[in-house]
Structure 1
């Protein structure tokens, strides 16, 4: 899940997606990429919310992220559900190759990424924190992605 999130955050369109989700909070591509950023910043509940939104809006990649999210947690029924959803939405999902054993990414996010996420506006929804993306984050994403 970290490899896929990292790949999506390093895409050339990520700044545009994050800027769009800051203006239009119902943009599926922005929600997918913002969820990946939150995942990398170790905000799993926030990532989960945004991925669910994007998957509900038809993003097969977000559904695949949810499959991986639940698989890592050992929630096999939910994992199977999201794998099925991903395949129903698109059978040509771009998957990231697993990171070789000797080249694992660090488990902790960069300080800059954590700080950027910590300064975002946060609301409480059903007991979970809901982060709001902003334009500053979109403007800084290239430097933040380089730190991941």
Structure 2
């Protein structure tokens, strides 16, 4: 079973002093598993070290691991790449994550990456799908509200 870290992209940017209060940003759902490297990627993301988070997640995604762990690694990679502004790489990573195992976390990150890439309609569809999987998750509800504005 994995622990989930929900990270607001806006909060992370605000901590770095690069976002204004009126900016709206989607939230990501970072995953940890019993694998320490995936957990380290989530921790690096939560600390704002997106390059390290991407490096660790990519490292795990390229190893021979179970489909659910590979999905978690790609999902975390998606979030980190999105925060680095590498939108195409982020979207590709989330598509890979969903190819290994569809989860509300991977769908949430896919929607956030799409939103950050300037594709709000596609993001809304991804968030809606995440809402079908996990309707009671706060991250999902926050992202649905963001795209409903």
Structure with larger RCO (C-alpha < 8 A, sep 6+)? 1
Larger of the two Rg values belongs to structure = 1
